[in-house]
Chains A and B, each alone.
Chain A
Amino acid sequence: MGTQTTHLPRIIAVLAMLGVASFPIYWMFVTSLTPSSELFATSPNMLPRFEQLGIYLEVFRTIPVATWLWNSFVVAAGTTVLSIALAILPAYALSRFRFAGIAILGFALFATQMLPEAMLVVPLYAIFGQLSLLNSLFGLILANTAFVVPVITWIIKGAIDSIPLEVEEAARVDGCSRIDIVLAIVIPLITPTLAAAAVIAFFHGWNEYVFAQTLISSEALRTASVGLASFVGELSTPIHSVMTVGVIYTLPAVVFYLFAQRYVVAGMTAGSVKG
C-alpha cells in the first residue's frame, strides 16, 4: 500500500498501453525509412532502416516542406502571442471582478467551445473577404486566435485564482493601479501557467487545418497541415516521402510537448479539477 508495487500484470498492461499509444507514430517513422522496394511487399517491414535517412533531406528538394513549415510556424507563433495578449486581462477580470457583465463573459467563453470551426468557416470566409484578410497568414492568425482564446483565458484565470489577494492589496496600498498590478505582479507570478498556455496556443495554430485550408489559397502561404493533408489517401506520391513529411511535421509538436507536458497538465487541471 505505501510501497512500490511491481506486479507483473500491471507492468504488462502498462507496456501494452504504451505500445498502443506510440505505435502509429513509430509506424509513421518506420514507413518513412522504408525503401520503395519494400513498401508494397507482402510482409511489412517493422524496423526503421536508418540507412534511408537521406530521404529526410531529399524530401525538402521535391516537396515545398520548408515553405510549409515556415508558414505553420508563423501562424502558430502569431496565434500564441495574440491569444495570450488578449486573454490575460479578461482572465484577471473573471478572477477578481464581480459585476453583471462578467457572468455573461464567462458563459460566452464557455459557449464558444460548442461552435465548430467547420460551421463558422463560411461566414468567416465572407467577413475576411470584405476585410481583405483572405489569403494572408495574418488573417489565419486572427481566426485561430478566436478559437483558442477561451481555453487560454480559462487556464490563466485558474492560475490567477490561486494568487492570494493580499499581495494585490499590498500593491494597492503602495499606489499601484490595476494595470500596474497585472503587469508587475500577476504576470510574473503565473509564468509557468503562461508557458502552458503558450504551448496550447502554439499547438492549436500548428495543428489547425480547416481555416488554413479554406482561408488560404496561394501555394506560397500554404501551411504544413494543409500540405500534408493533400497527401492523405492518395498513392501517387511515394508513401515514404509522404510519411517523411508527416514525421517532420509531427516531431516538433511531440518533442516540444513532451518537454512541456508537466506544465501543461498542471495548468489545465488546476482550475478544472474539483476537489
Chain B
Amino acid sequence: MSTRRSASARLEGHPLTPYLFAAPVAIYLILFQFYPLVQEFYLSFTATDLLRPSDSTFVGLDNYSFLIEVGDLHKVLGVTAIYTICCVVFAVGLGLLAALLLDAPFVGRGVARALVTVPWAAPSVAVALVFTWMFNAQYGIFNHGLRALSLPFGAENWLDSPNLALPAILLTTVWQIFPFSSVVILAALQGVPQELREAAAIDGADRFNIFKTAVWPTIQPTVFMLVLFVTIWSLRRFDLIWLMTQGGPIGATNTLVIELYRQGFVYRDLGSAAAIGMIGLTVALVITVIYFKVTQAAERAQGKR
C-alpha cells in the first residue's frame, strides 16, 4: 500500500492538493464532532443546567467523584459490561453459525442470504415498537407462546421485570445485529481455499476439526475485527434501549449511554452527563488499545507456535 501511495505521489501535482482534498471533511468533522467533544470535556468539569447552557459553574472533579461515590456508576458499568459482552458473544456467535449454514450451496441460497439481512435493514424505532408489543404481558406473542407450552412463566411484561428486561433487550439487539455479523463472516468464508478443507477431510478430520484447522485460521482476523466493532457499537447503542425501557426497571438496562442521556435530558444535569460521556469514551479507547495489543500478540504467536 505504501509503495502505491508513494508511486501516486510521484504523479506530480500541486503540493497543496492533498490538503485541499482533506480539508472540507476535516473542517466538517472538527465542527460537528470534535469541537462538541471538546465542549463535552469542559462541561464535565462544570455544573450546568440544560435550560441555561451558557450559565456554567466550574466545579472541578465534583461530577466524577459524585458519580463514583454516591451515584451508581459501578452498577451502570456492570450493566454495560454484561450487555456488551452478551451482544458480542451472541451476535458474533450466531452470525458465525448463520454464515456457516449459508456457505454451502443449496437450492434457494441466494434468497436465504438476502432474507437473513432483513433485521439489519429494519429501522431501530420500528424494531423497538414491535418488540415492545411482543413482550407485552397479556397480549405479547412471547408470553402467548410460553403459556401455550404450559410453562410457568408468561404473566409479566418482560420489559417491566428487573430480571427479564436485560435479556429482552439483548434478544432484540442480537436479533437486529446478527445479520451484519453473518454477512461479514460469509464474505470472509469465501476466502477459504476449498483445497484446504478437502485436505483436512482426507486426513480424516471430522466437521469440527475441518473448521478448526482449515476454516478458522483464515477467517480469524475478520472475526476479531467484528468483535471490536460490535463491542464499540454496543457501548454506543441508544435508540433501542431508550425507547423500550429507558434504562429501567431499577436500572436493569441502564447502560452508560442511557445514563448519560437521562442525566442530561431528564435531570438536566449537563455536567454529570458530560462526565459519564468522558468515562464511556475512555472505556472505548481502552478496549480499542487492548484489542490491538491482543491481535498483534496473537499474530506473532501464530507465526511461532
Residues from chain B with a CB closer than 8 A to the CB of A253 are 121-123
Q: Name the segment of A50-58, A92-100, A190-198 touching the other chain.
A: A92-100
Instruction: Mark each residue of chain B from 1 to 39: 1 if its CB lies under 8 Å from any CB of chain A, else 0.
Output: 110111111010110011101101110110111111101
A254 pairs with B7, CB closer than 8 A: no
- Is A14 an interface residue when CB atoms closer than 8 A count as contact? yes
A116 pairs with B129, CB closer than 8 A: no
- Is B77 an interface residue when CB atoms closer than 8 A count as contact? no
Residues from chain B with a CB closer than 8 A to the CB of A43 are 144
Instruction: Mark each residue of chain A from 110 to 133: 1 if its CB lies under 8 Å from any CB of chain B, else 0.
Output: 001111111110111111010000
Among B7, B125, B133, B238, which residue has its beta carbon within 8 angstroms of that of A116?
A: B238
Among A1, A25, A129, A231, which residue has its beta carbon within 8 angstroms of that of B118?
A: A25
Instruction: Mark each residue of chain B from 261 to 277: 1 if its CB lies under 8 Å from any CB of chain A, else 0.
Output: 10011000010011001
A122 pairs with B25, CB closer than 8 A: no
- Is A4 an interface residue when CB atoms closer than 8 A count as contact? yes
B125 pairs with A169, CB closer than 8 A: no
Known contacts A228-B126, A254-B122; is A44 also within 8 Å of B13 by CB? no
- Is B105 an interface residue when CB atoms closer than 8 A count as contact? yes
Residues from chain A with a CB closer than 8 A to the CB of B31 are 127
Q: How far is the CA of A254 from the CA of B13 in the complex (A)?
A: 45
Residues from chain B with a CB closer than 8 A to the CB of A143 are 32
B259–chain A nearest beta-carbon distance, Å:
10
Q: Name the segment of B59-67, B84-92, B108-116, B162-170 touching the other chain.
A: B108-116
A273 pairs with B222, CB closer than 8 A: yes
Among A116, A262, A269, which residue has its beta carbon within 8 angstroms of that of B184?
A: A269
Interface residues of A in 140-160 (CB under 8 A from B): 142-143, 145-147, 149-150, 153
Q: Is the interface of A mostly helix, strand, loop or mixed?
A: helix
B123 pairs with A123, CB closer than 8 A: no
A119 pairs with B126, CB closer than 8 A: no
B244 pairs with A98, CB closer than 8 A: no
Residues from chain A with a CB closer than 8 A to the CB of B175 are 20-21, 24
B130 pairs with A243, CB closer than 8 A: yes
Q: How far is the CA of A115 from the CA of B36 in the complex (A)?
A: 11
Q: How far is the CA of A273 from the CA of B105 in the complex (A)?
A: 21
Instruction: Mark each residue of chain A from 196 to 213: 1 if its CB lies under 8 Å from any CB of chain B, else 0.
Output: 000000010011011000
Residues from chain A with a CB closer than 8 A to the CB of B265 are 214
Interface residues of B in 148-206 (CB under 8 A from A): 159, 175, 179, 183-184, 187-188, 191, 194, 197-198, 201
Q: How far is the CA of A180 from the CA of B123 in the complex (A)?
A: 38
A21–chain B nearest beta-carbon distance, Å:
5
Nearest B residue to A182, CB-CB:
B21
A105 pairs with B187, CB closer than 8 A: no
Nearest A residue to B139, CB-CB:
A40
A124 pairs with B284, CB closer than 8 A: no
- Is A59 an interface residue when CB atoms closer than 8 A count as contact? no
B125 pairs with A249, CB closer than 8 A: yes
Among B21, B179, B260, which residue has its beta carbon within 8 angstroms of that of A89?
A: B21
A177 pairs with B13, CB closer than 8 A: yes
B93–chain A nearest beta-carbon distance, Å:
13
Interface residues of A (CB under 8 A from B): 1-2, 4-6, 10-11, 13-14, 17-18, 20-22, 24-25, 27-28, 31, 39-40, 43-44, 86-87, 89-90, 92-93, 96-99, 101-102, 105, 108-109, 112-120, 122-127, 129, 142-143, 145-147, 149-150, 153, 161, 165, 168-169, 172, 177-178, 203, 206-207, 209-210, 214, 225, 228-229, 231-233, 239, 242-243, 246, 249-250, 253-254, 257-258, 261-262, 265, 268-269, 272-275
